[in-house]
Protein backbone atom coordinates (compact mmCIF):
# COMPACT_ATOMS: atom_id res chain seq x y z
CA UNK A 1 0.00 0.00 0.00
CA UNK A 2 2.82 2.37 0.81
CA UNK A 3 4.26 1.85 -2.68
CA UNK A 4 0.91 2.62 -4.31
CA UNK A 5 0.55 5.81 -2.31
CA UNK A 6 4.00 6.95 -3.29
CA UNK A 7 3.36 6.24 -6.95
CA UNK A 8 0.07 8.15 -6.84
CA UNK A 9 1.72 11.08 -5.11
CA UNK A 10 4.49 11.11 -7.68
CA UNK A 11 1.97 11.20 -10.53
CA UNK A 12 0.07 14.06 -8.87
CA UNK A 13 3.29 16.01 -8.37
CA UNK A 14 4.20 15.50 -12.02
CA UNK A 15 0.77 16.86 -12.96
CA UNK A 16 1.27 19.95 -10.83
CA UNK A 17 4.71 20.62 -12.29
CA UNK A 18 3.47 20.09 -15.85
CA UNK A 19 0.56 22.48 -15.45
CA UNK A 20 2.72 25.11 -13.77
CA UNK A 21 5.04 24.89 -16.75
CA UNK A 22 2.04 25.32 -19.04
CA UNK A 23 0.97 28.47 -17.21
CA UNK A 24 4.52 29.79 -17.22
CA UNK A 25 4.62 29.32 -20.99
CA UNK A 26 1.39 31.30 -21.30
CA UNK A 27 2.92 34.01 -19.14
CA UNK A 28 5.97 34.31 -21.41
CA UNK A 29 3.79 34.55 -24.53
CA UNK A 30 1.58 37.36 -23.25
CA UNK A 31 2.81 40.91 -23.70
CA UNK A 32 -0.10 43.08 -22.54
CA UNK A 33 0.35 44.71 -19.10
CA UNK A 34 -1.44 42.83 -16.34
CA UNK A 35 -2.27 39.76 -18.45
CA UNK A 36 0.78 37.78 -17.33
CA UNK A 37 -0.33 38.02 -13.72
CA UNK A 38 -3.91 37.09 -14.65
CA UNK A 39 -2.78 33.80 -16.20
CA UNK A 40 -0.89 32.69 -13.10
CA UNK A 41 -3.69 33.76 -10.78
CA UNK A 42 -6.01 31.10 -12.23
CA UNK A 43 -4.85 28.65 -9.58
CA UNK A 44 -3.25 28.78 -6.19
CA UNK A 45 -1.07 25.78 -5.31
CA UNK A 46 -3.72 24.04 -3.18
CA UNK A 47 -6.41 24.42 -5.85
CA UNK A 48 -4.01 23.11 -8.47
CA UNK A 49 -3.13 20.06 -6.35
CA UNK A 50 -6.78 19.23 -5.71
CA UNK A 51 -7.77 19.79 -9.34
CA UNK A 52 -5.19 17.31 -10.58
CA UNK A 53 -6.45 14.74 -8.08
CA UNK A 54 -10.17 14.92 -8.73
CA UNK A 55 -11.35 16.79 -11.81
CA UNK A 56 -14.86 15.35 -11.52
CA UNK A 57 -15.47 17.62 -8.51
CA UNK A 58 -13.78 20.67 -9.99
CA UNK A 59 -16.83 22.88 -9.57
CA UNK A 60 -16.67 22.31 -5.81
CA UNK A 61 -12.90 22.78 -5.58
CA UNK A 62 -12.02 25.65 -7.87
CA UNK A 63 -13.50 28.99 -6.93
CA UNK A 64 -15.50 29.95 -10.00
CA UNK A 65 -16.61 33.54 -10.39
CA UNK A 66 -19.52 33.02 -12.78
CA UNK A 67 -21.13 36.35 -13.61
CA UNK A 68 -23.00 37.95 -16.49
CA UNK A 69 -20.23 38.42 -19.04
CA UNK A 70 -19.71 39.97 -22.46
CA UNK A 71 -18.62 37.35 -25.02
CA UNK A 72 -16.86 39.96 -27.15
CA UNK A 73 -14.80 41.17 -24.19
CA UNK A 74 -13.66 37.59 -23.57
CA UNK A 75 -12.78 37.24 -27.25
CA UNK A 76 -10.87 40.54 -27.35
CA UNK A 77 -8.87 39.57 -24.26
CA UNK A 78 -7.91 36.22 -25.80
CA UNK A 79 -6.97 37.76 -29.16
CA UNK A 80 -4.71 40.31 -27.49
CA UNK A 81 -3.02 37.53 -25.53
CA UNK A 82 -1.98 35.61 -28.67
CA UNK A 83 -1.40 38.58 -30.98
CA UNK A 84 2.39 38.33 -30.87
CA UNK A 85 2.52 34.60 -31.69
CA UNK A 86 0.20 35.12 -34.66
CA UNK A 87 2.25 38.05 -35.95
CA UNK A 88 5.47 36.05 -35.72
CA UNK A 89 4.03 33.44 -38.10
CA UNK A 90 2.13 36.04 -40.15
CA UNK A 91 -1.15 34.23 -39.47
CA UNK A 92 -4.39 35.98 -40.35
CA UNK A 93 -7.43 35.78 -38.07
CA UNK A 94 -10.78 35.67 -39.88
CA UNK A 95 -13.24 36.77 -37.22
CA UNK A 96 -16.99 36.31 -37.58
CA UNK A 97 -19.13 37.64 -34.74
CA UNK A 98 -22.64 39.13 -34.59
CA UNK A 99 -22.96 42.86 -34.01
CA UNK A 100 -25.08 42.20 -30.94
CA UNK A 101 -25.01 39.33 -28.49
CA UNK A 102 -26.77 38.73 -25.18
CA UNK A 103 -24.71 38.40 -22.04
CA UNK A 104 -23.61 34.92 -21.03
CA UNK A 105 -22.92 33.23 -17.71
CA UNK A 106 -19.16 32.76 -17.43
CA UNK A 107 -16.10 32.98 -15.26
CA UNK A 108 -14.34 35.51 -17.47
CA UNK A 109 -10.74 34.62 -16.56
CA UNK A 110 -11.12 30.88 -16.90
CA UNK A 111 -13.20 31.13 -20.06
CA UNK A 112 -10.60 33.43 -21.62
CA UNK A 113 -7.90 30.93 -20.64
CA UNK A 114 -9.74 28.17 -22.53
CA UNK A 115 -10.06 30.38 -25.60
CA UNK A 116 -6.39 31.36 -25.38
CA UNK A 117 -5.52 27.66 -25.18
CA UNK A 118 -7.56 26.94 -28.32
CA UNK A 119 -5.89 29.83 -30.15
CA UNK A 120 -2.39 28.85 -29.05
CA UNK A 121 -2.95 25.31 -30.30
CA UNK A 122 -4.31 26.57 -33.60
CA UNK A 123 -1.28 28.83 -34.07
CA UNK A 124 1.12 26.06 -33.12
CA UNK A 125 -0.26 23.64 -35.68
CA UNK A 126 -0.75 26.19 -38.46
CA UNK A 127 1.85 26.98 -41.09
CA UNK A 128 3.30 30.43 -41.68
CA UNK A 129 1.11 32.80 -43.71
CA UNK A 130 -1.97 30.68 -43.03
CA UNK A 131 -5.37 31.62 -41.61
CA UNK A 132 -7.42 30.76 -38.53
CA UNK A 133 -11.19 31.19 -38.45
CA UNK A 134 -12.67 32.46 -35.19
CA UNK A 135 -16.39 32.62 -34.59
CA UNK A 136 -18.88 33.52 -31.88
CA UNK A 137 -22.35 32.13 -32.55
CA UNK A 138 -25.70 32.60 -30.83
CA UNK A 139 -27.68 29.36 -30.93
CA UNK A 140 -30.94 29.33 -28.94
CA UNK A 141 -29.86 29.35 -25.28
CA UNK A 142 -26.12 29.10 -25.90
CA UNK A 143 -23.22 31.22 -27.07
CA UNK A 144 -20.58 29.18 -28.87
CA UNK A 145 -16.93 30.08 -29.42
CA UNK A 146 -15.18 28.34 -32.34
CA UNK A 147 -11.52 28.24 -33.39
CA UNK A 148 -10.81 26.59 -36.74
CA UNK A 149 -7.31 25.98 -38.11
CA UNK A 150 -6.21 24.47 -41.41
CA UNK A 151 -3.35 22.35 -40.13
CA UNK A 152 -2.80 18.61 -40.26
CA UNK A 153 -5.94 17.64 -38.36
CA UNK A 154 -6.43 14.70 -36.01
CA UNK A 155 -6.87 11.06 -36.95
CA UNK A 156 -10.24 9.54 -36.10
CA UNK A 157 -8.82 7.10 -33.54
CA UNK A 158 -7.56 9.95 -31.33
CA UNK A 159 -10.64 12.20 -31.22
CA UNK A 160 -12.36 10.51 -28.28
CA UNK A 161 -9.21 10.77 -26.17
CA UNK A 162 -8.32 14.41 -26.81
CA UNK A 163 -9.89 15.75 -23.62
CA UNK A 164 -8.59 12.94 -21.41
CA UNK A 165 -5.97 13.87 -18.86
CA UNK A 166 -2.36 13.22 -19.97
CA UNK A 167 -3.39 12.17 -23.49
CA UNK A 168 -1.01 13.38 -26.20
CA UNK A 169 -1.61 13.00 -29.91
CA UNK A 170 1.47 11.41 -31.52
CA UNK A 171 3.45 14.12 -33.28
CA UNK A 172 4.99 14.17 -36.74
CA UNK A 173 8.31 15.41 -35.37
CA UNK A 174 7.65 18.99 -36.49
CA UNK A 175 5.50 20.03 -33.52
CA UNK A 176 6.42 19.60 -29.90
CA UNK A 177 3.86 17.68 -27.89
CA UNK A 178 2.35 19.41 -24.87
CA UNK A 179 1.77 18.20 -21.33
CA UNK A 180 -1.49 16.40 -22.08
CA UNK A 181 -3.22 18.65 -19.55
CA UNK A 182 -4.40 21.82 -21.26
CA UNK A 183 -7.39 20.37 -23.13
CA UNK A 184 -8.40 18.28 -20.12
CA UNK A 185 -8.36 21.34 -17.88
CA UNK A 186 -10.21 23.34 -20.54
CA UNK A 187 -12.92 20.69 -20.43
CA UNK A 188 -13.02 20.90 -16.64
CA UNK A 189 -13.39 24.68 -16.73
CA UNK A 190 -16.20 24.70 -19.29
CA UNK A 191 -18.18 21.84 -17.79
CA UNK A 192 -17.86 23.37 -14.31
CA UNK A 193 -19.72 26.36 -15.77
CA UNK A 194 -22.49 24.09 -17.12
CA UNK A 195 -21.07 24.40 -20.62
CA UNK A 196 -20.16 22.01 -23.43
CA UNK A 197 -16.86 21.49 -25.24
CA UNK A 198 -15.99 19.46 -28.33
CA UNK A 199 -13.77 19.09 -31.39
CA UNK A 200 -14.45 18.49 -35.08
CA UNK A 201 -11.49 17.35 -37.14
CA UNK A 202 -10.60 15.64 -40.38
CA UNK A 203 -7.11 14.43 -41.15
CA UNK A 204 -5.59 16.83 -43.65
CA UNK A 205 -8.37 19.40 -43.14
CA UNK A 206 -7.47 20.89 -39.76
CA UNK A 207 -9.30 21.18 -36.44
CA UNK A 208 -12.27 23.11 -35.13
CA UNK A 209 -12.39 23.36 -31.34
CA UNK A 210 -15.57 24.77 -29.81
CA UNK A 211 -17.24 25.40 -26.48
CA UNK A 212 -20.68 26.72 -25.54
CA UNK A 213 -21.86 28.53 -22.44
CA UNK A 214 -25.44 29.42 -21.47
CA UNK A 215 -26.80 32.89 -22.13
CA UNK A 216 -27.81 34.98 -19.15
CA UNK A 217 -31.57 35.31 -18.96
Q: Cβ distance 40 to 23 under 8 Å?
A: yes
pTM listed for this prediction: 0.73
3-state secondary structure (DSSP) of residue 126: coil
Q: Each residue of 25-74: pLDDT tens digit?
A: 555 555 444 444 455 445 444 445 444 444 445 545 567 899 999 999 99
Please list the alpha-helical segments (H only) found in the chain: 2-29, 35-40, 45-53, 58-61, 71-88, 108-124, 182-192
Closest C-alpha among 22, 2, 14, 24 to residue 52: 14
State the pLDDT confidence band at 8, using cuts at 50, 70 and 90: very low
In whole numbers, what is the pLDDT of the chain averaged over residues? Answer: 77
User: Percentage of residues in the chain with pLDDT exceeding 70?
Assistant: 66
Question: Residue 21's pLDDT is what?
Answer: 57
Amino acid sequence: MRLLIDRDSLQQNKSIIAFKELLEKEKQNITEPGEKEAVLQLFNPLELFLATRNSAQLAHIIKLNVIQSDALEILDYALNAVKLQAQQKEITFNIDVPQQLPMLWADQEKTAWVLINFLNNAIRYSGAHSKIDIGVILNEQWITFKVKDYGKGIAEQYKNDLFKRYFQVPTDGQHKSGSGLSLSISKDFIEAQQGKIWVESELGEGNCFSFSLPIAK
